[in-house]
Amino acid sequence: MRILLLGGNGQVGSALRRSLAPLGTVIATTRSGALKDGTACERADFDVPDALPALVARIVPDVVINAAAHTAVDRAENDAEAAFRANAQAPQALAAACAERDALLVHYSTDYVFDGRGTRPYREDDATAPLGVYGASKLAGEQAVRDSGARHLIFRTAWVYAAHGSNFLRTMLRLARERDELRVVADQVGAPTPAVLIADVTARVLAQAPSRSGTWHLTATGATSWHGFAEAIVAGAHARGLLARMPRVLPIATADYPTPAARPAYSVLDCSALQSDFGIELPDWRTGLATVLDALPRG
Ligand SMILES: NC(=O)C1=CN([C@@H]2O[C@H](COP(=O)(O)OP(=O)(O)OC[C@H]3O[C@@H](n4cnc5c(N)ncnc54)[C@H](OP(=O)(O)O)[C@@H]3O)[C@@H](O)[C@H]2O)C=CC1
Ligand SMILES: Cc1cn([C@H]2C[C@H](O)[C@@H](COP(=O)(O)OP(=O)(O)O[C@H]3O[C@@H](C)C(=O)[C@@H](O)[C@H]3O)O2)c(=O)[nH]c1=O
C-alpha cells in the first residue's frame, strides 16, 4: 500500500507514521519539508490548496491520510480565512484529486461540529451546529470530502493529546510546575483521546480494506470534564514522579474562563458504530491517559 500522509509532524500525524509503517510505504509531508527530527520529507502547504492535486498526482498513492489542520480554536475566531483554507479548501482539493485517481481518503474531524446541547453521546447522523469558526471550518471540510465523490473514511475524534506537541495535558503539566493552584472548567464534558489510539485504530481499519465510505466517531470511551481530566493528569503525573508536588485543581465555570471561541458544554461521541463495523474495542480515557503518562520523559 502506498500511503501519502499529510501533517506528519502533528500529534496524530506523528503517531500515524509509526502505526502505518507495517501497512506499506508511507510518504509523509509537513509544512516545512522536514520532520521534527530534522529528516527531510515532502512539503505540503495547506495555505495553497490548489497545489495539493499536483502532489497527489506525483506521489500516486493508494491512500491519502489528511492529519493536517488549523487546530488553534481561539485563533481561528480572528482568522476565519486561514481556518477555512486549511480545514475546508485543502481537504476539498485533496478529495478531488483522490476522486480523480480512485485513491481512498482518510480525513479527521472534531466533536466541535456539535453545539453541545445534547444529553446523550452524539451519533454520527445527529444534527451538527458548530459554535465557533474552527468547528464550522471542520464541518465544511467533512462536507467537501463527502461531496467530492472520493472513497473516504471520516473519523470524528475529540480532546486529542500526546506526550509531545501542543495539547491540554502538556499545558496542565507546565502550569502544575509553575503554580500552586490550577483553575479549570468543570462544565464542559468530553472524552480525552490519545493520538496513538487514533493512529492505531486508523491502521487497523485500513488493514481491513474497508469497502464503504462513511463517517465514524473515534474517541476513548467514558467521559469527564476538562477539570476531571486535569485532576487525573496531575495525580497520575505525581504518582509517576513526573511532578514534585501536587497543585490544587479547582473546578470553575466556563463563564469564569472567558475565551474568544465558545466550546460545546457536552461533546461525548457515541463510538458504537466504529466498534461494531470494524470489531475494534476502544479503551476508557483513564487507560489511555496512563499509557501517555508512562511515555512521558521524566524531569
Ligand atoms: N487536537 C485536538 O484536540 C483534536 C484534533 N482533531 C482533528 O484531528 C486532526 C489531527 O489533529 P492534531 O494531530 O491534534 O493536530 P496538531 O495541531 O497536532 O497538528 C496539525 C498539523 O497540521 C499542520 N498544519 C497546520 N496548518 C497547516 C498548513 N497551513 N499547511 C500545512 N500543514 C499545516 C501543522 O503543521 P506545523 O507543525 O508545520 O504547524 C501540524 O503538524 C485534525 O484534523 C484535527 O482537526 C479533532 C478533534 C480534537
Ligand atoms: C489552560 C486552561 C484551559 N481551560 C479551559 C479552556 C477550555 O474551555 C478548555 C480546553 O482548553 P484548550 O484550549 O486547551 O482546548 P481546546 O483547544 O478547546 O481543545 C479542542 O481542540 C480542538 C482542536 C478540538 O478539535 C477539540 O476536540 C478540543 O480538543 O479548558 C481552563 O479552564 N483552565 C486552564 O488553565
Q: What is the pLDDT of residues 255-277, one digit of tens each?
A: 999 999 999 999 999 999 999 99
Query: With bands split at pLDDT 50, 70 and 90, how would you rate the model's confidence at 297?
Result: confident
| Residues 21, 72 contacting (CB under 8 angstroms) | no
- The secondary structure of 129-182 as a DSSP string is --SSHHHHHHHHHHHHHHHT--EEEEEEE-SEE-SSSS-HHHHHHHHHHH-SEE
Q: Is the CB of 90 under 6 A from ligand 2?
A: no
Q: Is the pLDDT of residue 298 over 90?
A: no
What pLDDT, in 10s, does the model give residues 184-235?
999 999 999 999 999 999 999 999 999 999 999 999 999 999 999 999 999 9
Buried b (16+ CB within 10 A) or exposed e, 107-146: bbbbbbbbbbebeebbebeeebebbbbbbbbbbbbbbbbb
Whether residue 294 is contained in a domain is answered as no
What pLDDT, in 10s, does the model give residues 134-192?
999 999 999 999 999 999 999 999 999 999 999 999 999 999 999 999 999 999 999 99
80: CATH: 3.40.50.720
Whether residue 118 is contained in a domain is answered as yes
Q: Is the pLDDT of residue 77 over 80?
A: yes
Q: How many domains does the chain have?
A: 1
Whether residue 251 is contained in a domain is answered as no
Residue 269's SS3 state is: strand
pTM of the model: 0.98
| Residues 55, 33 contacting (CB under 8 angstroms) | no
CA of 168 to the centre of ligand 2 (A): 6
Atom of ligand 2 nearest to the CA of 71: 23
Whether residue 226 is contained in a domain is answered as no
- The DSSP call for residue 281 is P
Whether residue 155 is contained in a domain is answered as yes
Whole-number percent of the chain with pLDDT over 90: 99
Whether residue 109 is contained in a domain is answered as yes
Question: What ipTM is given for this predicted complex?
Answer: 0.98
| Residues 29, 216 contacting (CB under 8 angstroms) | no
Query: With bands split at pLDDT 50, 70 and 90, how would you rate the model's confidence at 299?
Result: low
- Number of other residues whose CB lies within 10 A of the CB of residue 208: 11
| Residues 161, 229 contacting (CB under 8 angstroms) | no
* Amino acid occupying residue 182: L
Whether residue 202 is contained in a domain is answered as yes
Whether residue 297 is contained in a domain is answered as no
CA of 66 to the centre of ligand 1 (A): 9
Reported as type and span, the H/E element at residue 249 is strand 248-252
Ligand nearest to the CA of 179: 2
Q: Indicate the top mutation candidate among 35, 128, 156, 160 to test ligand 1's pocket, ranked by most ligand atoms within 8 A of CB.
A: 160
Ligand nearest to the CA of 32: 1
| Residues 4, 62 contacting (CB under 8 angstroms) | no
Full residue range of the structural domain in which residue 35 is found: 2-161+192-219+269-283
